[in-house]
Amino acid sequence: MFKFSVGKVTIKEGDTILKTITPLTDVEFRYSTSRERKTDAEGNVTDEFETTKTYEITISYATSDDIDLQTLEDKTLDLYFETVNGERGMDFTFASCTVADYSYRQAQDQFTIVTITFSKQGPLDSTPGEEPVRQKVYFGETGNWVQIGDSAYIVPSYTGNAQSLIIPTALGVLIRSTATLGGGALTITVRAYVSKDTRLELEQYCLNLFSQLSTGKKSLRVEYGGSSYTISDCYWVDASVSSENKLYTELTLKFIKSAY
C-alpha cells in the first residue's frame, strides 16, 4: 500500500462530468490479491496460484457544498487524476469504478471533510468505456441463442459404462470397458450469476429463463472475449437457484449429452 497527495480529480460517467474536486487532501490506492498454494505430502509449497485481485481508491477533500452521494451512487465511474501546476500529484485514470464507501466529518465551522472509497472492476490498465470481460454461456442454436445469467462457466464430468465381474476361483476381476459395452454420458454443469435492480425482476428473470430452455436437443456455446467453443447435442435436465440474496443469485443448470 502506498499513500500520496494529488491536486485534482475529475469524476465522469461516460462523457458526462459529475464532479471535479480540487484540491484533494488525500488519496490512497490499495491493491490486494488472494492466493492459493499447493503443497506436497510433507507440506512443501509446490505451486501458487492467484485467485482474485481487488483494487480500491480512497479520496478525501474539504468542501462547503452539500453532501452529494446521490450524484455518484450506483453508477460506473471513471476517475481522472491530474497534477496541479505540473508539480503535485499524478496523471492517471482509473476506469470502471463504483462507490464502495462514503463518509464525512465536520472539520471546521464552514468545512466538511468528505471521504469516498471506490472499488474498481476489470484490470488495472483498463480504459474508460471498456467493459470488463466476462465469460458467457448460451444455449440454443444459430440465430436463437439464450444467454444464461450475466456471466457463467461450465464444469464437465463423464460417466462411463464399465463393469467389473468377480469370477469364482479366478485371480483378479474381469473388466468390460465402455469401449466394449458401449454407452458413456457427458454431464455439463453451468454455474452462472445474475443481478437485477429488484427482487421481483430477479425472480421473473429466473422463471423466464427456465421457460426458454427447451428440453429438446440443442447446443451450448461458451464465449470469453474473442474466443469461443460449442458443445453440440445437449439436453437441459435440471436447474436450481442457490442464493437468497435479494438482488443477486447464483444459478446451477445441468445438461447432458452422449459422450460419443
C-alpha cell at 5: 497527495
Looking at residue 131, what is its pLDDT?
A: 80
Looking at residue 83, what is its pLDDT?
A: 80
Does this chain's domain 2-120 share its CATH topology with 135-258? yes
Short-list 155, 151, 145, CA closest to 195: 151
Looking at residue 204, what is its pLDDT?
A: 93
C-alpha cell at 211: 421457460
Beta bridge partners of 257: 186
157 has a pLDDT exceeding 70: yes
228 has a pLDDT exceeding 90: yes
Average the pLDDT over each of 41-45, 171-175, 228-232, 248-252 and give the range with the smallest value.
171-175
Percent of the chain's residues with pLDDT above 70: 93
pLDDT in tens, 88-102: 667 889 999 999 999
pTM here is: 0.78
3 has a pLDDT exceeding 50: no
183 has a pLDDT exceeding 60: yes
pLDDT band at 5 (very low <50, low <70, confident <90, very high): low
Looking at residue 2, what is its pLDDT?
A: 44
161 has a pLDDT exceeding 90: no
pLDDT in tens, 36-77: 999 999 999 999 988 888 999 999 888 776 666 778 888 999
DSSP the chain: -EEE--SEEEEEETTEEEEEE-SEEEEEEEEEEEEEEEE-TTS-EEEEEEEEEEEEEEEEEEE-SPP-HHHHTT--EEEEEE-BTTTBS--EEEEEEEEEEEEEEE-SSS-EEEEEEEEE-S-TT--TTPPPP-EEEEEEETTEEEE-SSEEEEEEEEE---EEEEPTTSSSEEEE-HHHH---EEEEEEEEEEE-SSHHHHHHHHHHHHHHS-SS-EEEEEEETTEEEEEEEEEEEEEEE----SSEEEEEEEEEEE--
Residue range 2-120, CATH number: 2.40.30
258 has a pLDDT exceeding 80: yes
- Identify the CATH assignment for 135-258 out of 3.40.50.300, 2.40.30.200, 3.20.20.80, 2.102.10.10: 2.40.30.200
pLDDT in tens, 102-142: 988 876 666 788 899 999 988 888 889 888 889 999 999 98
1 has a pLDDT exceeding 50: no
Looking at residue 114, what is its pLDDT?
A: 87
Looking at residue 74, what is its pLDDT?
A: 86
Question: Where are the domains positioned within the chain?
Answer: 2-120, 135-258
